[in-house]
Amino acid sequence: MKKFFSIRMRASKGGMHISGAEGIYSRDNLIDMVKKYTQRALSHEKGESDEIYLAVEELKESPRRISALPLCTLNTRNPETVKKAAKKILTSIGIAERAVEEAFKSLGIGIAMRGAMLMDMEGVRLEPDLLRGVRVTRMGITENANSDLSKKLSTLGINNNTVREALILASKVNRHPMVIAELCISDDPNYTTGYIASRTYGYIRLPHIKRRGVPYGGRAFFITGGELKELIEFLQKTPVIINKINTCRGIASVEEILKK
């Protein structure tokens, strides 16, 4: 069996988070990639990190190979239209309107959780550790899929680490049958595009989900049925690698998305 490794990097400066990233790589690429992650932590636009944690771990099981979700960007102009659109889309797949309200409220409240919150379809919180949430790790993308994704995103003018890494994470999360959808708001004060992701509609980017300068955000996973422990094990431990990229298209309206 070919050996695969997970590399996870977390970097900070003066105790403030600067950068975090991860991937899955074959043994042949390991040393180059450790160098790249270190460089990334040292040359971040937020400043040069003074503490870099790198975890390199051999995977005991072969990564599951999956396709990325198809991607598009919604034509939203402000947080109000985003919320309205998100409600339309999420209620159309069975999530209660009050659950969507609750998710926006909890993500906007300013408690920086390290991981995602888990919510049932009615908006009841389910994660065992309400303060930390559930962190999704052990995911990556093959070199070929990454260059295909970069090409497709470049034609849309959105080829950056943030979009690529969020799509990889959302594709893993929404692969699990218990996950019906995900809502994400970046906690970066300068990054005002969020997304909703689901198997039904793919990865829908939501411009202007929050106003510039707001330093909090996070992720909510809407889940149903099944064994919570098994889902958390999948999100945290099961290695998943994207090996195929789906369609990536430009701006769409809610109506176009719902027509699907």
State the residues that interact with ligand PML by CB under 6 A. 162-163, 166, 184, 186, 188, 191, 193-195, 205
- Hunting for tokens 């209660």 — which residue is that? 96
Shortest Å distance, C-beta 230 to ligand PML: 25
Helix then strand count (H, E) for the chain reads 7, 13
Cβ closer to ligand PML: 162 or 236? Answer: 162
Closest alpha carbon to 23 in 131, 168, 129: 168
Cβ closer to ligand PML: 191 or 216? Answer: 191
Q: What values do phi and psi take at 146, rounded to 5? A: -65, -40
Q: What is the dihedral of CA 211, 213, 214, 215, to 10 degrees?
A: 150
The alpha carbon of residue 73 and the mean position of all alpha carbons in its chain are separated, in whole angstroms, by 15
Cβ closer to ligand PML: 212 or 229? Answer: 212
Cβ closer to ligand PML: 194 or 202? Answer: 194
Cβ closer to ligand PML: 160 or 224? Answer: 160
Shortest Å distance, C-beta 139 to ligand PML: 13
DSSP string, 246-259: --EEEEE-HHHHHT
Residue nearest to ligand PML (CB): 186
Closest alpha carbon to 58 in 35, 28, 34, 24: 24
Shortest Å distance, C-beta 227 to ligand PML: 27
Cβ closer to ligand PML: 39 or 162? Answer: 162
Strands (E), the chain: 4-13, 16-26, 51-58, 64-67, 71-74, 117-119, 139-141, 179-185, 194-198, 202-206, 218-223, 240-244, 248-252
Shortest Å distance, C-beta 175 to ligand PML: 18
Shortest Å distance, C-beta 219 to ligand PML: 8
Shortest Å distance, C-beta 123 to ligand PML: 22
